[in-house]
């Protein structure tokens, strides 16, 4: 699985989302649905509003490369029947976990996000594994290139994170993160 991790402010996150929307991506949140039908997020504001309520990723799909519909699984709970999207089935797609900043306490807390895709995805009822197409990999590379253009590379405990320039300033001013021993030197 290709994975790219980042820490961004709300402003930086909005810029990234706007860039992804301009690529023609459909944003499908991983939610518990009452019917086996996806909800599509259609603008940056909707993504920013829902991001802290997600228990899973936002699926990014492009009509020009999608070959198989996303697959729903069903679960019965005491509140009724729910449907959720099955990871790795359908697509191909990217998983997008938005970064977020929480101002509920002092200091503020910046939560890392990530962008990833499966090297293989399962096609519907056939059970056939397909390799991620080059077109998905190219879109992934373009998105991470954009994120890199507004951030700096930081290594923490052998993992690479890209920290937005604005996020770095907030961290230097005392904000905490969910990333181990992330320390940024003074500029």
What average pLDDT does the structure give for the chain? 92
Predicted confidence at residue 183, as pLDDT, reads 67
Q: Is residue 183 part of a domain?
A: no
Distance CA 159, CA 186 (A): 21
Q: Is residue 126 part of a domain?
A: yes
Among 8-22, 66-80, 86-100, 115-129, the range scoring the smallest mean pLDDT is 115-129
Question: What size, in residues, is the chain?
Answer: 187
Distance CA 66, CA 64 (A): 6
Among 1-10, 65-74, 96-105, the range scoring the smallest mean pLDDT is 96-105
Q: Which two tokens stand for residue 139?
A: 């879109």
Q: Is residue 168 part of a domain?
A: yes
Q: Is residue 185 part of a domain?
A: no
Distance CA 137, CA 142 (A): 9
Distance CA 13, CA 150 (A): 10
Q: Is residue 186 part of a domain?
A: no
Predicted confidence at residue 187, as pLDDT, reads 60
Task: Indicate the number of domains in the chain.
Answer: 1
What number is the average pLDDT over the span 91-101? 94
Range of the domain at 168: 2-177
- Tell me the per-residue pLDDT of 99-131, one tens digit each, with 9 for 90 and over: 988 877 778 889 999 999 999 998 877 778 999
User: What does pTM read for this prediction?
Assistant: 0.91
What number is the average pLDDT over the span 59-84? 94
Q: How many CA atoms lie within 13 A of 56 on its CB side?
A: 16
Q: Is residue 67 part of a domain?
A: yes
Q: Is residue 139 part of a domain?
A: yes
Distance CA 89, CA 87 (A): 6
Per-residue pLDDT band for 169 (boundaries 50, 70, 90) equals very high
What number is the average pLDDT over the span 155-175? 93
Q: Is residue 187 part of a domain?
A: no
């Amino acid at each position: 699985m290709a994975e790219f991790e980042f820490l961004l402010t709300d402003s930086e996150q909005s810029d990234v989302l706007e860039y992804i929307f301009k690529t023609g991506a459909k944003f499908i949140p991983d939610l518990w649905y009452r019917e086996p039908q996806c909800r599509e997020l259609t603008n940056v504001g909707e993504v920013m509003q829902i991001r802290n309520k997600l228990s899973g990723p936002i699926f990014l799909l492009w009509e020009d490369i999608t070959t198989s519909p996303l697959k729903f699984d069903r679960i019965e709970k005491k509140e009724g029947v729910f449907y959720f999207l099955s990871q790795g089935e359908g697509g191909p797609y990217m998983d997008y976990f938005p970064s977020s900043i929480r101002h509920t306490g002092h200091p503020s807390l910046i939560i890392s996000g990530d962008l990833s895709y499966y090297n293989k995805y399962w096609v519907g009822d056939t059970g056939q594994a397909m390799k991620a197409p080059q077109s998905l990999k190219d879109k992934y590379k373009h998105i991470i290139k954009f994120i890199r253009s507004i951030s700096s590379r930081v290594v923490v405990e052998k993992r690479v994170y890209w920290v937005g320039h604005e996020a770095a300033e907030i961290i230097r001013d005392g904000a905490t993160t969910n990333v181990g021993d992330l320390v940024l030197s003074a500029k």
